[in-house]
Amino acid sequence: MPTARLRRLARTLRGLRNERGLTREEVAARTSVNEATLYRLETAKGRPQRRTLLTLLDTYDVDSDKREAILALSTQAAEQGWLRPYHADLRDEYVGYISFEIEARSVRNYESLVVPGLLQTERYAQAAIRGVLPTATATKVDQRVLARMERQTSFTNDPPLELWAIVDEAALRRLVGGPDVMIEQLNHLAEMSTRPYVTLQVIPYTAGSHSGMHGSFVLMDFPDPDDPELVYIESMAGDLFLETDEDIRRYNQIFDHLRAVALSPGNSANLITAVAREIA
């Protein structure tokens, strides 16, 4: 299961090998570590056993101070104290996303049809998840709602998670859960938009076509400068984590365009309040 620290460890091992000018084939020839294992370790698809890690550190002539830091990082990469028993029934990709979000410094989220999960009320989340998963049992729906509500505790961290959310006006007008649930949700959005760690913008219908019409996405960055940004895309065809420089640059450009076409935070709050009054 991916974590930010496992990604950092993978990049560290890949960087050490490249610094020595070695290919995976050459490392495999010098050690008992085969190429397939090296590939998994260098792409965060697995965590090395201590013996394997020590072998690689010896091969790369890593000094004692750096060696201890890498060994500590490997231990930390295995720690997932945030896991709860009910997470076992969630998709691996979603649990992975939660692990990244917990470690993130900031999240930029564009949503075209629903309110961002970090800003959902419990009743809205219940109705939204039930609608998306019509065949799920009540227990499974409750587990997903609990996970979504738990994610919002990131706002209580010190420092709190910073969220910049952009939503299409359609997300405000879709009556998820009915009028009462939606009014409660819109009022919650208006209140959250006043928090110093939340920036909320709405793209009005009058903006016409825009670069977010292809679908929703999340951009995350992390406190450690060695952890590059990450893009997460959820779809019916499967969830994707993108981390190449090209993908990061492309989605940053898309988000910048969406910020430009969206209403200002103040006017967005006014629109949210106006829609709530219309529904009422």
Mean pLDDT comparison of 38-52, 81-95, 260-274, highest-scoring range: 260-274
- CA-to-CA distance for 91 and 143, rounded, in angstroms? 12
**Whether residue 225 has pLDDT greater than 80:** no
Classify 230 as helix, strand or coil: strand
Claim to verify: residue 92 and residue 56 sit in the same structural domain? no
Backbone angles phi, psi at 3, to 5 degrees: -140, 165
- CA-to-CA distance for 70 and 75, rounded, in angstroms? 9
Domain count for the chain:
2
Claim to verify: residue 21 and residue 97 sit in the same structural domain? no
Claim to verify: residue 45 and residue 96 sit in the same structural domain? no
CA distances from 173 to 113, 162, 168, 256, 272 (A): 9, 25, 9, 24, 9
- Quick: pLDDT tens for 80-138: 544 455 455 666 667 778 878 888 999 999 999 999 999 999 999 999 999 999 999 99
Boundary of a domain, candidates 32, 56, 77: 77
Boundary of a domain, candidates 55, 77, 99: 77
Backbone angles phi, psi at 54, to 5 degrees: -60, -40
- Regarding pTM above 0.85, the answer is no
**40: domain range?**
4-77
Claim to verify: residue 39 and residue 100 sit in the same structural domain? no
Claim to verify: residue 151 and residue 263 sit in the same structural domain? yes
Claim to verify: residue 165 and residue 275 sit in the same structural domain? yes
Claim to verify: residue 15 and residue 38 sit in the same structural domain? yes
Claim to verify: residue 212 and residue 242 sit in the same structural domain? yes
Classify 106 as helix, strand or coil: strand
Classify 198 as helix, strand or coil: strand
Claim to verify: residue 150 and residue 255 sit in the same structural domain? yes
Classify 222 as helix, strand or coil: coil
Look up residue 268 and give its two tokens: 């967005």
Which domain CATH number covers 145? 3.30.870
Claim to verify: residue 120 and residue 222 sit in the same structural domain? yes
**Whether residue 251 has pLDDT greater than 80:** yes
Look up residue 236 and give its two tokens: 């019916």
Claim to verify: residue 58 and residue 98 sit in the same structural domain? no
Claim to verify: residue 98 and residue 39 sit in the same structural domain? no
Boundary of a domain, candidates 35, 60, 77: 77
